[in-house]
Amino acid sequence: MAKYDVYKTPLKIDKLTLDNRFVVAPMSMGCFYGEDGGFNEQATQYFAARAKGGFGLIITGAIGVDYQVDPYSATGPIPLQVGQVWIDDAKKFVDEIHASGAKVFAQLTLGLGRNYPGLPAPSECIVYGTTDQKSPALTKEQIKLKISQYIDTAKMVKEAGFDGIEVHAMHWGYLLDQFGMSFFNHRTDEYGGCLENRLRCAKEIVEGVHEVCGSDYPVGMRLGLQTYIKDVNKATLTGKEEVGRTLEEGIEIAKLLEKYGYDFLDVDTGTYDSFYYAEPPMYMPQGFMIDIAAKAKAVVKIPVIAGGRMQAYDAAAKAIEEGKIDGVALGRQSLANPEFPNKLYQDTPEKIRPCLGCNLGCWNRVVGGQGGWGSCAVNPQCARESIDGLKPGDGKKKIVIIGGGVAGMETARTATLRGYDVTLFEKSDHLGGHLIEAGAHSFKSEVQKLNEWYQRELKELNVCVKLGQEPCAECVKAEHPDAIVLAIGSIPSQPDIPGLDKAILSLDAIQNPQQLGEKIVIVGGGLVGCELALDEALKGKDVTVVEALDHILSSGIPAPTPNAQMLGDLFEAKNVTVLTGHKLVQVTEQGVVLENTDGTVELEADSVVSAIGFAPRESLKNVFSECGAPVYEIGDAVKAATIMNAVWEGYALANQL
């Protein structure tokens, strides 16, 4: 058997057989419904791309069932309200997924509960993200009505041709999850109290669905095996202070769900209160879910599919071989590279574009309110396949790109794929730009892999890359360009502060950490400074982060909640000192002088690191404006921002040249 052939072995869910072990995890992207309330072409092409990429099972994002109890739905149109139009559109959607090679399940949600303001919960409880807002408690009649609507929607789902249903969800702290946890469920009727009572909704749902759809119609549960919460809005990094669901209770729930008639379990961890377990960032090890999922698999006979940083393909393949899990659910990695399974089937894992765990294109846009529908930081075509796919080139064109960072490499890649002749100049002896420093941390190997992926792509596309050359106007003009792209990046900001020249620049500190002493003060609480602080603290260093604003990670684009939450808890666990509201006044031979509302503070340090931010390099637009071609500036050359910003700008520009 070849290395990854285990992924190609069929998986049986009751009487249904999947072609392989890869599942597209359910994700709501906020863009999958048309004006008529049915699935649109955007949804069809998004899921079809992943079916063609080798996934054996597609699970839709959460579809609402209730329009009579909840005051609104954050999940899109309600099938029961839309009616036959929803069924007709869903049939076309399902047919396309089947034609693309995959089975497809609809994920139906009982509701979102106290995760959002104004929505009812099992009991009156504090709304996530607040300290004083409370969710209203559901009446018994409302619970019955919700379950009745769930079963009626299931009938529509089967009529539309879906191959099965996943129940949303005893995970992420949604309504059904709240019923399952005594921390949120304080009811004294048959829907509260002992574990079996708290699972009564889940039991009545599967029984009702099987009654109307048939006992052999697959029904699974999205189950968070442990919640990792120690209070409302507060996670526990280790799980030792758990007040929600312990792993032991999660295992007991798995056994009960099998007893109730569920045909598979799709397992993960976390809630909104512990978002870094629900949507684990790059600080969480890949494959951490394998051993957790294996504990559930050890007590049930139904298939167990594991999700959550499961792109660790070697470890996951071994886990399937050893019977620890039955399948792999990929969410964000399927956004980054829809052909993840095919790359493994072809034994070319190096061609997989990696998910960074950055949560910028997915979580930040869908849940974090940063605009637009869900997508992916490193894959601008994600969820835009039908509206912003790669366009054919406009004749033969010569494109000259100056700068070999991520923006320049994405521009070169996309322009070449469109059929253009591309030459890329990079003044250093390597490609990557700030990906080099960003990928140097112990917990950011995915960024390093992204840089390697880009370089491999450019090589395979035969892009002309000229390293060690800082081009002048004459040599660019000699290329006879039709367009010139300046992707020259950014440099560290150095404000006029006495003694700041004594500090080590953040990029130098990241690439040459051996020069840092045991007691480190990092000036600047943005992402660069905080990640450097974490890396050094993990080595046992005494680290202090100084930030002039009231909060770290608050300038520019806010850090996604899962990332910021985990960084904060890791800082606490590793004893990183954070001084907000402190302005740097001077760097001295002994350390730093700071100023806050109470006066000045002096801190001693072996090393002071300046991580105050970045600014665009001096524009070269005037230098190349006489070369006979339009000149474009992109990425950090315009405004220092994120990897996502650089990739998306590079793609957008190259796709319109």
Q: Which tens digits make up the pLDDT trace of 450-470?
A: 999 999 999 999 999 999 998
pLDDT at 71: 76
Percent of the chain clearing pLDDT 90 (strictly above): 95
- Burial environment of residue 434 by CB neighbours within 10 A (0 to 12, 13 to 18, 19 or more): buried
- Taken in order of first residue, the domains within the chain and their CATH numbers are 5-368 (3.20.20.70), 398-491+616-655 (3.40.50.720), 500-612 (3.50.50.60)
Helix or strand (DSSP H, E) at 167: strand 164-170
pLDDT at 367: 85
**pLDDT beyond 80 at 72:** no
In the DSSP assignment, the letter for residue 271 is B
Q: Considering only 65-74, 133-142, 575-584, 634-643, which range has the smallest mean pLDDT?
A: 65-74
Q: Which tens digits make up the pLDDT trace of 6-18?
A: 999 999 999 999 9
pLDDT at 489: 96
Active site residue 174: yes
pLDDT at 74: 72
Nearest-angstrom CA–CA distance, 100 and 97 = 5
**pLDDT beyond 80 at 369:** no
**Model confidence at 404, in pLDDT bands (50, 70, 90)?**
very high
* Long-range contact set of residues 353-356: C-beta below 8 Å, sequence gap at least 24: 353/378, 353/379, 353/450, 353/453, 354/311, 354/378, 354/446, 354/449, 354/450, 354/453, 355/311, 355/446, 356/282, 356/444, 356/446, 356/447, 356/450, 356/643
Three-state SS string over 512-564 comes to CHHHCCCEEEEECCCHHHHHHHHHHHHCCCEEEEEECCCCCCCCCCCCCHHHH
Q: Which tens digits make up the pLDDT trace of 540-555?
A: 999 999 999 999 998 8
pLDDT at 52: 98
**Quick one: average pLDDT of 510-517?**
97
**pLDDT beyond 70 at 1:** no
Q: Which tens digits make up the pLDDT trace of 470-493?
A: 889 999 999 999 999 999 999 999
Longest dimension (CA), the chain: 82
**pLDDT beyond 70 at 212:** yes
Q: Which tens digits make up the pLDDT trace of 36-53?
A: 999 999 999 999 999 999
Q: Which tens digits make up the pLDDT trace of 315-349?
A: 999 999 999 999 999 999 999 999 999 999 999 99
Q: Give first-to-last CA distance, the chain, whole Å.
A: 46
**Quick one: average pLDDT of 167-188?**
98
Percent of the chain clearing pLDDT 70 (strictly above): 100
**Model confidence at 556, in pLDDT bands (50, 70, 90)?**
confident
How many helices (H) does the chain have, and how many strands (E)? 23, 29
Return the bridge partners of 595, or none: 583, 600
**Model confidence at 2, in pLDDT bands (50, 70, 90)?**
confident
The answer to whether the CB of 522 falls within 8 A of the CB of 535 is no
Catalytic pick among 174, 217, 283, 632: 174
In the DSSP assignment, the letter for residue 344 is H
pTM as predicted: 0.96
**pLDDT beyond 80 at 206:** yes
**Quick one: average pLDDT of 80-88?**
96
**pLDDT beyond 80 at 95:** yes
Nearest-angstrom CA–CA distance, 1 and 8 = 11
